[in-house]
């Protein structure tokens, strides 16, 4: 085996490794964006619920609307908001374009996030 073939093989391996590192970073970025959006939406839901409860209004509806409004303001993040047993559940998804993996047909990576906010009646316990 000649030196030039060996150098070509090593360069290919190094480029592949760099691609995995860079696009792995893109995956982490997508997951971080999704998780940050989910946590922010749950915080908005909790704040809205607390405010409405103090005023004697429907806290579940306000929490859901606040979480959806927060997610609507997050570019590149999609998500869903649901309520079950006094808990607002937020699930989000974010995507990032790949840099090196697009050469083999993987154009984007996806990250997911989840968060929840407990809606407890004023003076109540859970």
Cβ-in-10-Å burial (0-12, 13-18, 19+) of 41 comes to buried
Tell me the C-alpha distance between 29 and 74, whole Å.
14
**Closest by alpha carbon to 95, among 110, 80, 112?**
110
What are the backbone angles phi and psi of residue 56, rounded to the nearest 5°? 80, 25
What is the length of the chain?
Answer: 126
pLDDT digits 0-9 by tens, 17-30: 888 888 889 999 99
pLDDT band at 1 (very low <50, low <70, confident <90, very high): low
**Are residues 80 and 6 in contact, defined by beta-carbon separation less than 8 angstroms?**
no
Q: What is the pTM of this model?
A: 0.79
Three-class secondary structure of residue 105 per DSSP: coil
pLDDT digits 0-9 by tens, 112-121: 999 998 887 6
pLDDT digits 0-9 by tens, 68-121: 999 999 999 999 999 888 889 999 999 999 888 888 888 999 999 999 988 876
Asked if residue 126 has pLDDT above 80, the reply is no
Angle, CA of 16, 18 and 21, to the nearest 5°? 110
Asked if residue 55 has pLDDT above 80, the reply is no
**Closest by alpha carbon to 92, among 35, 24, 47, 23?**
35
Share of the chain above pLDDT 90, in %: 47
């Amino acid at each position: 085996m000649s030196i030039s073939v060996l150098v070509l093989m090593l360069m290919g391996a190094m480029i592949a490794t760099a691609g995995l590192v860079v696009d792995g970073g893109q995956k982490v970025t997508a997951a971080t964006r999704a998780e940050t959006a989910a946590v922010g939406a749950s915080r908005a839901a909790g704040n809205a619920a607390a405010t409405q409860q103090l005023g004697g209004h429907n806290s579940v509806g306000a929490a859901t609307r606040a979480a959806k409004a927060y997610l609507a303001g997050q570019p590149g993040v999609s998500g869903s908001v649901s309520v079950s047993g006094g808990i607002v559940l937020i699930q989000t998804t974010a995507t990032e374009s790949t840099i090196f993996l697009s050469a083999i047909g993987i154009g984007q990576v996806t990250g997911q996030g989840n968060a929840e906010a407990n809606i407890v009646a004023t003076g109540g316990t859970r």
